[in-house]
Chains A and B, each alone.
Chain A
Amino acid sequence: MWDFLFTPEVFLIWTSLLKTILLLAVILGLVSYTVYAERKVSALIQDRVGPNRTGIPLTGIRILGLGQPIADALKLLLKENFIPRSVHKFYYYIAPKLTMIPPILVLCVLPFGSSLFGVPMVIANINIGILFVFAVTSLGVYGIVLAGWASNSKYPFLGGIRSSSQMISYELAMGLSVVPIFMIIGTLNLSEVVRYQAQHGWLISPYWPQGLSLQSIFHGDWKAVGGALLAGLNLRHILLWFPLIISFFVFVVAIFAETNRLPFDLPEAEQELVGGYHTEYSSMGFALFFLGEYAAMISGSGVIVTLFFGGWSLPFIPDGSATTIFGMAIPGLSAVCSAHLASFIWGIVNIATFFGKVSCILLFMIWVRWTLPRLRYDQLMKFGWYFFFELALVNIFVTALILMYVK
Protein backbone atom coordinates (compact mmCIF):
# COMPACT_ATOMS: atom_id res chain seq x y z
CA MET A 1 0.00 0.00 0.00
CA TRP A 2 2.80 2.38 0.85
CA ASP A 3 4.96 1.32 -2.05
CA PHE A 4 4.14 4.44 -4.02
CA LEU A 5 6.07 6.42 -1.42
CA PHE A 6 9.26 4.82 -2.66
CA THR A 7 8.89 5.56 -6.35
CA PRO A 8 11.74 8.00 -7.12
CA GLU A 9 9.65 11.13 -7.70
CA VAL A 10 7.38 10.76 -4.68
CA PHE A 11 10.32 9.77 -2.51
CA LEU A 12 12.17 12.92 -3.55
CA ILE A 13 9.14 15.08 -2.80
CA TRP A 14 8.38 13.83 0.69
CA THR A 15 12.00 13.55 1.81
CA SER A 16 12.63 17.10 0.57
CA LEU A 17 9.58 18.34 2.43
CA LEU A 18 10.67 16.57 5.59
CA LYS A 19 14.20 17.94 5.29
CA THR A 20 12.85 21.44 4.68
CA ILE A 21 10.64 21.34 7.74
CA LEU A 22 13.37 19.97 9.99
CA LEU A 23 15.98 22.40 8.67
CA LEU A 24 13.60 25.35 9.12
CA ALA A 25 12.89 24.29 12.69
CA VAL A 26 16.60 24.02 13.46
CA ILE A 27 17.42 27.30 11.74
CA LEU A 28 14.67 29.30 13.43
CA GLY A 29 15.78 27.91 16.79
CA LEU A 30 19.36 28.77 15.92
CA VAL A 31 18.30 32.29 14.91
CA SER A 32 16.65 33.03 18.23
CA TYR A 33 19.51 31.53 20.18
CA THR A 34 22.00 33.53 18.13
CA VAL A 35 20.22 36.60 19.42
CA TYR A 36 20.67 35.24 22.92
CA ALA A 37 24.34 34.50 22.22
CA GLU A 38 24.78 37.98 20.86
CA ARG A 39 23.42 39.50 24.07
CA LYS A 40 25.33 37.17 26.33
CA VAL A 41 28.67 37.47 24.56
CA SER A 42 28.35 41.23 24.31
CA ALA A 43 27.68 41.30 28.04
CA LEU A 44 30.69 39.13 28.81
CA ILE A 45 32.93 41.24 26.59
CA GLN A 46 31.74 44.41 28.29
CA ASP A 47 32.14 42.98 31.80
CA ARG A 48 28.40 42.72 32.37
CA VAL A 49 26.13 39.84 33.32
CA GLY A 50 23.70 39.73 30.41
CA PRO A 51 20.32 38.02 30.31
CA ASN A 52 20.19 35.58 33.21
CA ARG A 53 16.63 35.85 34.58
CA THR A 54 14.22 34.27 32.14
CA GLY A 55 13.98 30.53 32.53
CA ILE A 56 11.09 28.12 32.69
CA PRO A 57 7.98 30.14 33.55
CA LEU A 58 6.18 29.63 36.86
CA THR A 59 8.97 27.47 38.30
CA GLY A 60 11.62 30.02 39.11
CA ILE A 61 14.24 27.89 37.34
CA ARG A 62 16.55 30.21 35.45
CA ILE A 63 19.14 28.13 33.56
CA LEU A 64 21.30 31.13 32.58
CA GLY A 65 18.38 33.02 31.07
CA LEU A 66 17.96 30.55 28.23
CA GLY A 67 14.22 31.32 28.10
CA GLN A 68 14.99 34.85 26.97
CA PRO A 69 14.57 34.30 23.18
CA ILE A 70 11.10 32.81 23.72
CA ALA A 71 10.10 35.73 25.90
CA ASP A 72 11.45 38.17 23.31
CA ALA A 73 9.53 36.47 20.53
CA LEU A 74 6.31 36.56 22.57
CA LYS A 75 6.84 40.22 23.33
CA LEU A 76 7.33 41.09 19.67
CA LEU A 77 4.31 39.04 18.64
CA LEU A 78 2.02 40.67 21.16
CA LYS A 79 3.10 44.23 20.45
CA GLU A 80 0.91 46.59 18.49
CA ASN A 81 1.85 46.74 14.82
CA PHE A 82 1.86 50.48 14.37
CA ILE A 83 1.85 51.68 10.78
CA PRO A 84 2.57 55.36 10.13
CA ARG A 85 -0.04 57.06 7.96
CA SER A 86 2.33 58.27 5.28
CA VAL A 87 3.93 54.95 4.27
CA HIS A 88 3.52 53.22 0.93
CA LYS A 89 1.42 50.36 2.26
CA PHE A 90 2.24 47.62 -0.24
CA TYR A 91 6.02 48.01 -0.16
CA TYR A 92 5.93 48.68 3.55
CA TYR A 93 4.27 45.31 4.11
CA ILE A 94 6.40 43.38 1.66
CA ALA A 95 9.82 44.72 2.73
CA PRO A 96 10.28 42.70 5.98
CA LYS A 97 9.33 39.49 4.21
CA LEU A 98 11.83 40.26 1.46
CA THR A 99 14.55 40.57 4.09
CA MET A 100 13.69 37.33 5.85
CA ILE A 101 13.17 35.03 2.86
CA PRO A 102 16.49 35.21 0.91
CA PRO A 103 18.77 34.08 3.76
CA ILE A 104 16.50 31.12 4.40
CA LEU A 105 16.37 30.30 0.69
CA VAL A 106 20.17 30.16 0.64
CA LEU A 107 20.09 27.33 3.13
CA CYS A 108 18.38 25.02 0.65
CA VAL A 109 21.53 24.55 -1.41
CA LEU A 110 23.91 24.16 1.53
CA PRO A 111 24.84 20.54 2.29
CA PHE A 112 24.29 20.47 6.04
CA GLY A 113 25.13 16.79 6.41
CA SER A 114 26.36 13.86 4.38
CA SER A 115 23.43 11.47 4.26
CA LEU A 116 20.87 9.97 6.60
CA PHE A 117 19.21 6.64 5.67
CA GLY A 118 20.82 7.07 2.27
CA VAL A 119 19.11 10.41 1.69
CA PRO A 120 21.60 13.21 0.93
CA MET A 121 21.32 15.94 3.54
CA VAL A 122 20.90 18.83 1.17
CA ILE A 123 17.50 20.07 0.12
CA ALA A 124 18.35 21.02 -3.45
CA ASN A 125 21.46 19.38 -4.83
CA ILE A 126 21.79 21.67 -7.82
CA ASN A 127 24.80 22.14 -10.04
CA ILE A 128 24.75 25.93 -9.89
CA GLY A 129 24.95 25.97 -6.08
CA ILE A 130 27.11 29.01 -5.47
CA LEU A 131 25.52 31.02 -8.29
CA PHE A 132 22.17 30.38 -6.66
CA VAL A 133 23.61 31.61 -3.35
CA PHE A 134 24.83 34.84 -4.90
CA ALA A 135 21.62 35.38 -6.84
CA VAL A 136 19.48 34.95 -3.75
CA THR A 137 21.62 36.84 -1.22
CA SER A 138 21.71 39.89 -3.45
CA LEU A 139 17.90 39.89 -3.33
CA GLY A 140 18.17 40.59 0.38
CA VAL A 141 19.12 44.19 -0.28
CA TYR A 142 15.74 44.84 -1.92
CA GLY A 143 14.00 44.34 1.39
CA ILE A 144 16.17 46.98 3.00
CA VAL A 145 15.95 49.45 0.14
CA LEU A 146 12.17 49.02 -0.14
CA ALA A 147 11.79 49.44 3.62
CA GLY A 148 13.82 52.62 3.49
CA TRP A 149 11.84 54.01 0.62
CA ALA A 150 8.38 52.88 1.67
CA SER A 151 8.72 54.24 5.20
CA ASN A 152 8.60 57.77 3.76
CA SER A 153 10.87 59.08 6.47
CA LYS A 154 14.34 60.52 6.31
CA TYR A 155 16.38 58.11 8.42
CA PRO A 156 15.07 54.91 6.84
CA PHE A 157 15.61 56.52 3.48
CA LEU A 158 19.24 57.25 4.27
CA GLY A 159 19.63 53.69 5.53
CA GLY A 160 18.19 52.29 2.33
CA ILE A 161 20.47 54.43 0.17
CA ARG A 162 23.51 53.40 2.16
CA SER A 163 22.53 49.78 1.95
CA SER A 164 22.24 49.82 -1.81
CA SER A 165 25.59 51.49 -2.37
CA GLN A 166 27.23 49.20 0.17
CA MET A 167 25.88 46.17 -1.65
CA ILE A 168 27.20 47.43 -4.97
CA SER A 169 30.68 47.87 -3.58
CA TYR A 170 30.82 44.45 -1.93
CA GLU A 171 28.89 42.16 -4.23
CA LEU A 172 31.63 42.32 -6.86
CA ALA A 173 34.46 41.47 -4.50
CA MET A 174 32.37 38.71 -2.97
CA GLY A 175 31.59 37.09 -6.31
CA LEU A 176 35.16 37.34 -7.53
CA SER A 177 36.72 36.13 -4.29
CA VAL A 178 35.28 32.63 -4.54
CA VAL A 179 36.20 32.08 -8.20
CA PRO A 180 39.60 30.51 -7.27
CA ILE A 181 37.82 27.82 -5.27
CA PHE A 182 35.83 26.70 -8.26
CA MET A 183 38.85 26.91 -10.50
CA ILE A 184 40.59 24.47 -8.20
CA ILE A 185 37.67 22.14 -7.57
CA GLY A 186 36.09 22.38 -10.98
CA THR A 187 32.44 22.30 -10.00
CA LEU A 188 29.88 24.76 -8.67
CA ASN A 189 27.91 22.08 -6.88
CA LEU A 190 28.30 22.72 -3.16
CA SER A 191 27.92 19.03 -2.22
CA GLU A 192 30.84 18.27 -4.52
CA VAL A 193 32.82 21.12 -2.98
CA VAL A 194 32.36 19.57 0.46
CA ARG A 195 33.17 16.09 -0.81
CA TYR A 196 36.37 17.42 -2.40
CA GLN A 197 37.36 19.02 0.89
CA ALA A 198 36.59 15.84 2.82
CA GLN A 199 39.09 14.03 0.61
CA HIS A 200 41.72 16.62 -0.24
CA GLY A 201 41.59 18.76 2.87
CA TRP A 202 39.77 21.89 3.91
CA LEU A 203 40.56 24.80 1.66
CA ILE A 204 41.60 26.90 4.63
CA SER A 205 44.43 24.57 5.63
CA PRO A 206 47.81 24.54 3.86
CA TYR A 207 48.70 21.02 4.98
CA TRP A 208 46.55 17.93 4.81
CA PRO A 209 47.90 14.43 5.41
CA GLN A 210 45.76 12.81 2.77
CA GLY A 211 44.47 9.33 3.51
CA LEU A 212 45.62 9.32 7.15
CA SER A 213 43.21 7.21 9.15
CA LEU A 214 42.78 6.49 12.84
CA GLN A 215 43.02 2.75 12.17
CA SER A 216 46.56 3.01 10.89
CA ILE A 217 47.55 5.08 13.95
CA PHE A 218 45.88 2.64 16.36
CA HIS A 219 47.34 -0.42 14.70
CA GLY A 220 50.82 1.09 14.65
CA ASP A 221 51.03 0.93 10.89
CA TRP A 222 53.73 3.60 10.85
CA LYS A 223 54.56 3.13 7.20
CA ALA A 224 51.05 4.13 6.16
CA VAL A 225 51.04 7.02 8.64
CA GLY A 226 54.39 8.33 7.40
CA GLY A 227 53.30 8.02 3.79
CA ALA A 228 50.15 10.02 4.49
CA LEU A 229 52.07 12.68 6.40
CA LEU A 230 54.53 13.04 3.54
CA ALA A 231 51.76 13.10 0.96
CA GLY A 232 50.44 16.17 2.74
CA LEU A 233 53.60 18.08 1.84
CA ASN A 234 52.42 18.92 -1.62
CA LEU A 235 53.95 21.98 -3.30
CA ARG A 236 50.83 22.72 -5.31
CA HIS A 237 48.61 22.46 -2.25
CA ILE A 238 50.87 24.77 -0.26
CA LEU A 239 51.13 27.33 -3.07
CA LEU A 240 47.38 27.29 -3.62
CA TRP A 241 46.91 28.05 0.03
CA PHE A 242 47.99 31.69 -0.47
CA PRO A 243 45.28 32.65 -2.97
CA LEU A 244 42.78 30.64 -0.96
CA ILE A 245 43.53 32.44 2.29
CA ILE A 246 43.18 35.77 0.46
CA SER A 247 39.87 34.71 -1.03
CA PHE A 248 38.78 33.51 2.42
CA PHE A 249 39.64 36.89 3.90
CA VAL A 250 37.86 38.84 1.17
CA PHE A 251 34.85 36.57 1.30
CA VAL A 252 34.48 36.83 5.07
CA VAL A 253 34.67 40.62 4.93
CA ALA A 254 32.12 40.63 2.11
CA ILE A 255 29.82 38.39 4.15
CA PHE A 256 30.09 40.84 7.04
CA ALA A 257 29.08 43.64 4.67
CA GLU A 258 26.36 41.52 3.12
CA THR A 259 24.75 40.74 6.46
CA ASN A 260 24.99 44.36 7.67
CA ARG A 261 27.14 43.43 10.61
CA LEU A 262 29.52 45.78 12.33
CA PRO A 263 31.95 47.15 11.18
CA PHE A 264 29.78 47.53 8.07
CA ASP A 265 26.35 48.14 9.59
CA LEU A 266 25.94 51.49 7.89
CA PRO A 267 22.31 50.87 6.83
CA GLU A 268 21.35 50.40 10.48
CA ALA A 269 23.74 52.71 12.28
CA GLU A 270 21.69 53.03 15.47
CA GLN A 271 23.65 56.07 16.62
CA GLU A 272 23.33 58.18 13.49
CA LEU A 273 20.24 56.83 11.72
CA VAL A 274 18.03 55.82 14.66
CA GLY A 275 18.06 52.22 13.45
CA GLY A 276 18.13 53.06 9.76
CA TYR A 277 15.76 51.22 7.48
CA HIS A 278 13.64 49.67 10.24
CA THR A 279 12.99 52.87 12.18
CA GLU A 280 9.31 52.98 11.22
CA TYR A 281 8.62 49.32 11.88
CA SER A 282 7.20 47.81 15.04
CA SER A 283 6.03 44.43 16.26
CA MET A 284 6.44 41.57 13.77
CA GLY A 285 7.67 43.85 11.00
CA PHE A 286 10.62 44.80 13.12
CA ALA A 287 11.03 41.24 14.32
CA LEU A 288 11.30 40.00 10.74
CA PHE A 289 14.05 42.51 9.99
CA PHE A 290 15.81 41.60 13.19
CA LEU A 291 15.55 37.87 12.66
CA GLY A 292 16.31 38.30 8.96
CA GLU A 293 19.65 39.81 9.92
CA TYR A 294 20.47 36.81 12.08
CA ALA A 295 19.20 34.36 9.49
CA ALA A 296 21.50 36.08 7.01
CA MET A 297 24.35 35.63 9.48
CA ILE A 298 23.59 31.93 9.76
CA SER A 299 23.33 31.35 6.03
CA GLY A 300 26.44 33.47 5.49
CA SER A 301 28.40 31.39 7.99
CA GLY A 302 26.92 28.29 6.38
CA VAL A 303 28.38 29.38 3.05
CA ILE A 304 31.75 30.18 4.66
CA VAL A 305 31.82 26.77 6.34
CA THR A 306 30.82 25.00 3.14
CA LEU A 307 33.39 26.74 0.99
CA PHE A 308 36.39 26.96 3.30
CA PHE A 309 35.94 24.80 6.39
CA GLY A 310 34.93 21.58 4.71
CA GLY A 311 31.17 21.69 5.42
CA TRP A 312 30.13 18.65 7.42
CA SER A 313 33.50 16.92 7.11
CA LEU A 314 35.85 16.46 10.02
CA PRO A 315 39.24 14.70 9.98
CA PHE A 316 38.96 10.96 10.75
CA ILE A 317 35.16 11.12 10.75
CA PRO A 318 33.60 9.12 7.89
CA ASP A 319 30.45 10.25 6.10
CA GLY A 320 26.99 8.73 6.35
CA SER A 321 27.78 5.85 3.99
CA ALA A 322 30.14 4.24 6.52
CA THR A 323 28.74 1.03 7.97
CA THR A 324 31.13 0.55 10.87
CA ILE A 325 32.42 2.59 13.75
CA PHE A 326 36.17 2.89 13.12
CA GLY A 327 36.19 -0.53 11.47
CA MET A 328 34.27 -2.23 14.27
CA ALA A 329 30.68 -3.41 14.25
CA ILE A 330 28.37 -2.33 17.08
CA PRO A 331 28.29 -5.26 19.52
CA GLY A 332 25.06 -7.04 20.36
CA LEU A 333 23.32 -6.35 17.05
CA SER A 334 22.84 -8.26 13.85
CA ALA A 335 25.13 -7.27 10.95
CA VAL A 336 22.45 -5.34 9.04
CA CYS A 337 21.20 -3.56 12.14
CA SER A 338 24.70 -2.60 13.18
CA ALA A 339 25.54 -1.24 9.74
CA HIS A 340 22.38 0.87 9.65
CA LEU A 341 22.90 2.19 13.15
CA ALA A 342 26.53 3.06 12.41
CA SER A 343 25.65 4.96 9.25
CA PHE A 344 22.85 6.74 11.13
CA ILE A 345 25.27 7.74 13.89
CA TRP A 346 27.79 9.10 11.38
CA GLY A 347 25.03 10.96 9.54
CA ILE A 348 24.00 12.68 12.77
CA VAL A 349 27.64 13.40 13.67
CA ASN A 350 28.13 15.05 10.28
CA ILE A 351 25.07 17.25 10.72
CA ALA A 352 26.23 18.20 14.21
CA THR A 353 29.67 19.01 12.81
CA PHE A 354 28.19 21.37 10.26
CA PHE A 355 26.12 23.23 12.83
CA GLY A 356 29.02 23.26 15.26
CA LYS A 357 31.22 24.94 12.68
CA VAL A 358 28.45 27.39 11.81
CA SER A 359 28.12 28.27 15.50
CA CYS A 360 31.85 28.94 15.73
CA ILE A 361 31.69 31.35 12.79
CA LEU A 362 28.63 33.00 14.36
CA LEU A 363 30.53 33.48 17.60
CA PHE A 364 33.38 35.02 15.64
CA MET A 365 30.93 37.42 13.98
CA ILE A 366 29.54 38.40 17.36
CA TRP A 367 33.03 38.84 18.75
CA VAL A 368 33.96 41.13 15.86
CA ARG A 369 30.77 43.11 16.27
CA TRP A 370 31.49 43.95 19.88
CA THR A 371 35.09 44.86 19.13
CA LEU A 372 35.21 47.09 16.10
CA PRO A 373 33.72 50.52 15.60
CA ARG A 374 31.75 51.28 12.46
CA LEU A 375 33.79 52.25 9.42
CA ARG A 376 33.21 55.66 8.00
CA TYR A 377 31.23 55.74 4.80
CA ASP A 378 34.11 56.75 2.53
CA GLN A 379 36.38 54.19 4.18
CA LEU A 380 33.89 51.48 3.37
CA MET A 381 33.57 52.49 -0.27
CA LYS A 382 37.32 52.78 -0.56
CA PHE A 383 37.78 49.35 0.97
CA GLY A 384 35.29 47.81 -1.40
CA TRP A 385 36.34 49.46 -4.66
CA TYR A 386 40.03 50.17 -4.26
CA PHE A 387 41.14 47.22 -2.18
CA PHE A 388 38.96 44.14 -2.12
CA PHE A 389 37.83 44.29 -5.72
CA GLU A 390 41.42 44.47 -7.01
CA LEU A 391 42.60 41.89 -4.51
CA ALA A 392 39.95 39.41 -5.61
CA LEU A 393 40.67 40.06 -9.26
CA VAL A 394 44.44 39.60 -8.94
CA ASN A 395 43.79 36.53 -6.82
CA ILE A 396 42.03 34.82 -9.70
CA PHE A 397 45.03 35.31 -12.00
CA VAL A 398 47.45 34.12 -9.34
CA THR A 399 45.40 30.96 -8.89
CA ALA A 400 45.28 30.42 -12.63
CA LEU A 401 49.05 30.77 -12.87
CA ILE A 402 49.63 28.29 -10.06
CA LEU A 403 47.17 25.84 -11.58
CA MET A 404 48.87 26.18 -14.95
CA TYR A 405 52.52 25.87 -13.99
CA VAL A 406 52.63 23.82 -10.79
CA LYS A 407 51.50 20.25 -11.26
Chain B
Amino acid sequence: MAYTIPRPKLNWKERLFLPVFASGLAITWRHFKNRMLGRTKVTMQYPEEKWDEHLPPHYRGAPTLVTDEHGRERCVACQLCEFICPPRAITIHPEEIPTTNKWKKVEKRPKEFEIDMIRCIYCGLCEEVCPEQAIFLRKDYSITGLSRAEMKHDKKKLYELGGVMTGLVNKWNDKK
Protein backbone atom coordinates (compact mmCIF):
# COMPACT_ATOMS: atom_id res chain seq x y z
CA MET B 1 0.00 0.00 0.00
CA ALA B 2 1.33 3.36 -0.93
CA TYR B 3 1.57 5.88 1.84
CA THR B 4 2.77 9.46 2.02
CA ILE B 5 5.65 10.36 4.24
CA PRO B 6 4.68 13.39 6.29
CA ARG B 7 7.17 16.12 5.55
CA PRO B 8 7.81 18.68 8.28
CA LYS B 9 6.65 22.18 7.51
CA LEU B 10 9.71 24.42 7.40
CA ASN B 11 9.68 28.04 8.39
CA TRP B 12 11.48 30.61 6.28
CA LYS B 13 14.71 30.32 8.24
CA GLU B 14 14.87 26.59 7.74
CA ARG B 15 13.92 26.90 4.10
CA LEU B 16 16.87 29.24 3.56
CA PHE B 17 19.19 26.42 4.76
CA LEU B 18 21.84 28.97 5.72
CA PRO B 19 21.74 28.54 9.53
CA VAL B 20 22.08 24.77 9.21
CA PHE B 21 24.88 25.19 6.67
CA ALA B 22 26.72 27.40 9.13
CA SER B 23 26.25 25.03 12.04
CA GLY B 24 27.41 22.14 9.86
CA LEU B 25 30.52 24.04 8.88
CA ALA B 26 31.16 24.73 12.56
CA ILE B 27 30.97 21.02 13.37
CA THR B 28 33.38 19.99 10.64
CA TRP B 29 35.71 22.83 11.60
CA ARG B 30 35.75 21.57 15.18
CA HIS B 31 36.69 18.08 14.01
CA PHE B 32 39.34 19.49 11.66
CA LYS B 33 40.83 21.65 14.42
CA ASN B 34 40.88 18.88 17.00
CA ARG B 35 42.47 16.50 14.53
CA MET B 36 45.10 19.09 13.58
CA LEU B 37 45.92 19.71 17.24
CA GLY B 38 46.22 15.97 17.78
CA ARG B 39 43.33 15.75 20.24
CA THR B 40 41.48 13.11 18.24
CA LYS B 41 42.24 9.45 18.61
CA VAL B 42 42.93 7.92 15.22
CA THR B 43 43.54 4.48 13.81
CA MET B 44 46.75 2.70 14.77
CA GLN B 45 49.33 3.05 11.99
CA TYR B 46 49.75 -0.70 11.67
CA PRO B 47 53.23 -1.72 10.58
CA GLU B 48 54.87 1.01 12.68
CA GLU B 49 52.62 0.80 15.70
CA LYS B 50 51.48 -2.57 16.90
CA TRP B 51 49.05 -3.71 19.48
CA ASP B 52 51.28 -6.58 20.58
CA GLU B 53 51.88 -5.60 24.20
CA HIS B 54 48.18 -4.92 24.71
CA LEU B 55 46.94 -8.25 23.34
CA PRO B 56 44.60 -9.88 25.88
CA PRO B 57 45.78 -13.19 27.44
CA HIS B 58 42.98 -15.10 25.71
CA TYR B 59 43.98 -13.79 22.27
CA ARG B 60 43.59 -16.47 19.63
CA GLY B 61 46.63 -16.29 17.37
CA ALA B 62 48.50 -19.06 15.63
CA PRO B 63 48.06 -22.58 17.11
CA THR B 64 51.32 -23.99 18.49
CA LEU B 65 52.61 -27.09 20.30
CA VAL B 66 54.21 -26.73 23.70
CA THR B 67 56.69 -28.64 25.83
CA ASP B 68 56.49 -28.66 29.61
CA GLU B 69 59.11 -27.89 32.24
CA HIS B 70 60.45 -31.47 32.07
CA GLY B 71 61.22 -31.04 28.40
CA ARG B 72 58.55 -33.53 27.38
CA GLU B 73 56.55 -32.88 24.27
CA ARG B 74 52.98 -32.74 25.52
CA CYS B 75 51.32 -34.12 22.41
CA VAL B 76 50.48 -37.83 22.55
CA ALA B 77 49.21 -37.96 18.95
CA CYS B 78 45.65 -38.83 19.93
CA GLN B 79 44.52 -36.99 16.79
CA LEU B 80 41.47 -35.41 18.45
CA CYS B 81 42.48 -32.00 17.16
CA GLU B 82 42.87 -33.40 13.69
CA PHE B 83 39.33 -34.76 13.87
CA ILE B 84 37.72 -31.64 15.30
CA CYS B 85 39.54 -29.11 13.12
CA PRO B 86 36.70 -27.52 11.04
CA PRO B 87 38.81 -26.56 8.01
CA ARG B 88 40.93 -29.76 8.34
CA ALA B 89 44.11 -27.80 8.66
CA ILE B 90 45.86 -30.30 10.96
CA THR B 91 47.63 -33.48 9.77
CA ILE B 92 49.22 -35.83 12.31
CA HIS B 93 51.34 -38.91 11.66
CA PRO B 94 51.77 -40.70 15.01
CA GLU B 95 54.65 -42.94 15.99
CA GLU B 96 55.45 -45.11 19.00
CA ILE B 97 57.86 -43.87 21.57
CA PRO B 98 60.84 -46.27 21.65
CA THR B 99 61.18 -48.31 24.84
CA THR B 100 64.56 -46.79 25.62
CA ASN B 101 62.95 -43.39 26.04
CA LYS B 102 62.37 -41.98 29.53
CA TRP B 103 58.75 -41.30 28.65
CA LYS B 104 58.02 -44.71 27.14
CA LYS B 105 54.92 -45.04 29.35
CA VAL B 106 53.25 -42.31 27.23
CA GLU B 107 53.43 -44.78 24.33
CA LYS B 108 52.69 -42.39 21.43
CA ARG B 109 54.00 -39.15 20.04
CA PRO B 110 53.58 -37.34 16.72
CA LYS B 111 56.13 -38.21 14.05
CA GLU B 112 54.87 -35.38 11.94
CA PHE B 113 52.51 -32.64 13.04
CA GLU B 114 51.47 -30.19 10.37
CA ILE B 115 49.13 -27.21 10.55
CA ASP B 116 48.29 -25.60 7.26
CA MET B 117 48.11 -21.91 8.18
CA ILE B 118 46.32 -21.07 4.92
CA ARG B 119 43.45 -23.25 6.10
CA CYS B 120 43.54 -22.46 9.81
CA ILE B 121 40.63 -20.26 10.92
CA TYR B 122 41.99 -19.57 14.43
CA CYS B 123 38.84 -20.99 16.01
CA GLY B 124 40.68 -22.54 18.96
CA LEU B 125 38.73 -25.83 18.89
CA CYS B 126 42.04 -27.76 18.84
CA GLU B 127 43.09 -26.10 22.06
CA GLU B 128 39.71 -26.78 23.62
CA VAL B 129 39.56 -30.42 22.64
CA CYS B 130 43.14 -31.35 23.56
CA PRO B 131 43.09 -33.73 26.58
CA GLU B 132 46.83 -33.28 27.13
CA GLN B 133 47.11 -29.48 27.19
CA ALA B 134 49.52 -29.76 24.29
CA ILE B 135 48.21 -27.34 21.73
CA PHE B 136 47.71 -23.67 22.49
CA LEU B 137 46.75 -20.63 20.44
CA ARG B 138 49.50 -18.08 20.95
CA LYS B 139 49.67 -14.39 20.12
CA ASP B 140 51.34 -14.56 16.70
CA TYR B 141 48.82 -13.14 14.25
CA SER B 142 50.96 -12.04 11.37
CA ILE B 143 51.62 -15.38 9.67
CA THR B 144 52.91 -14.78 6.16
CA GLY B 145 54.84 -16.72 3.58
CA LEU B 146 55.84 -16.55 -0.05
CA SER B 147 54.68 -20.08 -0.93
CA ARG B 148 52.09 -22.61 0.16
CA ALA B 149 54.84 -24.86 1.49
CA GLU B 150 56.09 -22.05 3.67
CA MET B 151 52.65 -21.58 5.15
CA LYS B 152 52.59 -25.19 6.42
CA HIS B 153 53.90 -25.20 9.96
CA ASP B 154 55.66 -28.47 10.65
CA LYS B 155 56.39 -30.00 14.04
CA LYS B 156 59.70 -28.19 14.50
CA LYS B 157 58.20 -24.81 13.71
CA LEU B 158 55.20 -25.46 15.95
CA TYR B 159 57.40 -26.29 18.97
CA GLU B 160 59.55 -23.31 18.18
CA LEU B 161 56.53 -21.00 18.23
CA GLY B 162 54.99 -22.69 21.28
CA GLY B 163 58.01 -22.83 23.54
CA VAL B 164 57.83 -24.10 27.08
CA MET B 165 54.58 -23.86 29.03
CA THR B 166 54.78 -24.22 32.82
CA GLY B 167 52.05 -24.87 35.35
CA LEU B 168 50.25 -27.51 33.34
CA VAL B 169 48.75 -30.69 34.77
CA ASN B 170 51.45 -33.36 34.58
CA LYS B 171 49.31 -36.48 34.76
CA TRP B 172 52.00 -38.78 33.29
CA ASN B 173 54.58 -38.09 35.98
CA ASP B 174 52.80 -40.22 38.63
CA LYS B 175 52.28 -43.27 36.41
CA LYS B 176 54.89 -45.98 36.66
Contacts and interface: CB of A to CB of B under 8 A. Distances in A.
Interface of A: 41, 44-49, 52, 367-368, 370-372
Contact of B29 (A48, A52, A367, A372): A367
B46 to A, nearest CB: 11
A371 B31 CA distance: 11
A373 B34 CA distance: 22
Most A-side CB within 10 Å, residue of B25, B32, B45:
B32
A49 B43 contact: yes
Contacts of A370: 28
A47 B35 CA distance: 6
B24 A371 contact: yes
A45, A48, A49, A370 — most chain B CB neighbours (10 Å): A45
Interface string B64-95: 00000000000000000000000000000000
A367 B25 contact: yes
Nearest to B20: A372
Contacts of B24: 371-372
B43 to A, nearest CB: 6
B35 to A, nearest CB: 4
B36 interface: yes
Contact of A48 (B34, B36, B43): B43
Given A371-B24, A371-B25, A45 B45 contact: no
A109 to B, nearest CB: 31
Interface in B9-30: 21, 24-25, 27-29
Contact of B32 (A44, A368, A372): A44
Contacts of A44: 31-32, 35-36
Nearest to B27: A371
Chain A interface mostly helix, strand, loop or mixed? loop
A370 B41 CA distance: 20
A374 B34 CA distance: 25
A263 to B, nearest CB: 8
Contacts of A49: 42-43, 45
25 contacts: A44-B31, A44-B36, A45-B28, A45-B31, A45-B32, A47-B31, A47-B40, A48-B42, A48-B43, A49-B42, A49-B43, A49-B45, A52-B45, A367-B25, A367-B29, A367-B32, A368-B25, A370-B28, A371-B21, A371-B24, A371-B25, A371-B27, A371-B28, A372-B21, A372-B24
Interface string B34-74: 11100011110100000000000000000000000000000
Interface residues of B, number: 16
A184 to B, nearest CB: 25
B41 to A, nearest CB: 8
A368 B21 CA distance: 9
A370 B27 CA distance: 11
A266 to B, nearest CB: 16
Closest 6 pairs (CB-CB, A-B) = A371-B28, A44-B35, A371-B24, A45-B28, A47-B40, A45-B32
B18 to A, nearest CB: 9
Contacts of B31: 44-47
B25 A47 contact: no
Nearest to A41: B32
Nearest to A53: B45
A288 to B, nearest CB: 30
Contacts of B28: 45, 367, 370-371
Which residue among B27, B35, B43 has the maximum number of chain A CB atoms within 10 Å of its CB? B35
A84 B54 CA distance: 51
Nearest to B45: A49
Contacts of A372: 21, 24
Nearest to A48: B42
A262 to B, nearest CB: 12
B47 to A, nearest CB: 10
Contacts of A367: 25, 28-29, 32
Nearest to A382: B15
Contacts of B35: 44-45, 47
A45 B41 CA distance: 13
A52 B41 CA distance: 16
Contact of A47 (B21, B29, B42, B45): B42
Contacts of B40: 47
A113 to B, nearest CB: 31
Nearest to A47: B40
Contacts of B43: 48-49
A372 B17 CA distance: 11
A382 to B, nearest CB: 9
Contacts of A371: 21, 24-25, 27-28
Nearest to B42: A49
A365 to B, nearest CB: 12
A372 B21 CA distance: 7
A370 B28 CA distance: 8
A169 B43 CA distance: 43
A77 B40 CA distance: 36
